[in-house]
Amino acid sequence: MNAHASPQGPTGEGPLRHLRVLDLTQFLSGPYATQILGDLGADIIKVETPDGDMTRVLPPHFVGPDSAYYLSVNRNKRSLAVDMKTQEGRDLVRDLALASDVVIENFRPGVIERLGLSFADLSASKPELIWCSISGFGQDGPYRDRPAYDMIVQAMSGGMSLTGETDGHAVRSGIPLGDLAAGMYGVIGILAALSDRDRTGKGRCVDIAMLDCQISMLSYQAAYYLASGHAPGRQGRGHDSIPTYRSFTCGDGADVVITANTERMWKALCEVLGRPDLAEDERFRVNQLRYRNRQALWEIIEAIFATRPAAVWVEALVAAEIPAAAVNTLDRSLNDQQVLYRNMVLQLAGRDGEVLRVAGNPVKFVGEPEIEHRFPPRLGDDEDLVFSELLKLSPERIGALRESGVIGRRVTAAQQGQKEVRA
Segment 28-45 shows an average pLDDT of: 98
Give the amino acid at 411.
V
Average pLDDT over the chain, rounded to whole?
94
Cβ count within 10 A of residue 229: 7
User: For residue 410, what pLDDT band results from cuts at 50, 70 and 90?
Assistant: confident
Distance CA 117, CA 386 (A): 20
Say which CATH topology domain 20-217+375-422 has: Rossmann fold (3.40.50)
Closest listed residue to residue 407, CA positions, set 27, 52, 97, 102 = 52
Contacts of 291 (CB under 8 A, 6+ apart): 241, 242, 243
- pLDDT at residue number 13: 82
User: Domain segments of the chain: what residues?
Assistant: 20-217+375-422, 245-249+255-326
pTM: 0.93
List, in sequence order, every residue forming a beta bridge with 105; answer none if it has no partner.
24, 133
Q: Is the pLDDT of residue 373 over 50?
A: yes
Distance CA 394, CA 376 (A): 26
Cβ count within 10 A of residue 288: 9
Cβ 179 vs Cβ 150: under 8 Å: yes
pLDDT in tens, 242-292: 999 999 999 999 999 999 999 999 999 999 999 999 999 999 999 999 999
Cβ 358 vs Cβ 305: under 8 Å: no
- pLDDT at residue number 370: 85
Element (H, E) at 67: strand 66-67
Which residue in the list 39, 53, 150, 179 is annotated as catalytic? 179
User: For residue 422, what pLDDT band results from cuts at 50, 70 and 90?
Assistant: low
User: For residue 413, what pLDDT band results from cuts at 50, 70 and 90?
Assistant: low
Segment 45-69 shows an average pLDDT of: 97
Least confident of 59-68, 102-111, 406-415: 406-415
Segment 70-95 shows an average pLDDT of: 98
- pLDDT at residue number 351: 87
Q: Is the pLDDT of residue 364 over 90?
A: yes
Distance CA 187, CA 322 (A): 35
Q: Is the pLDDT of residue 11 over 70?
A: no
pLDDT in tens, 179-200: 999 999 999 999 999 999 999 9
3-state secondary structure of 236: coil
pLDDT in tens, 110-142: 999 999 999 999 999 999 999 999 999 999 999
Provide CATH code, domain 245-249+255-326: 3.30.1540.10
pLDDT in tens, 276-290: 999 999 999 999 999
Cβ 408 vs Cβ 383: under 8 Å: yes
Segment 408-422 shows an average pLDDT of: 66
pLDDT in tens, 69-80: 999 999 999 999
Confirm whether 66 is a catalytic residue: no
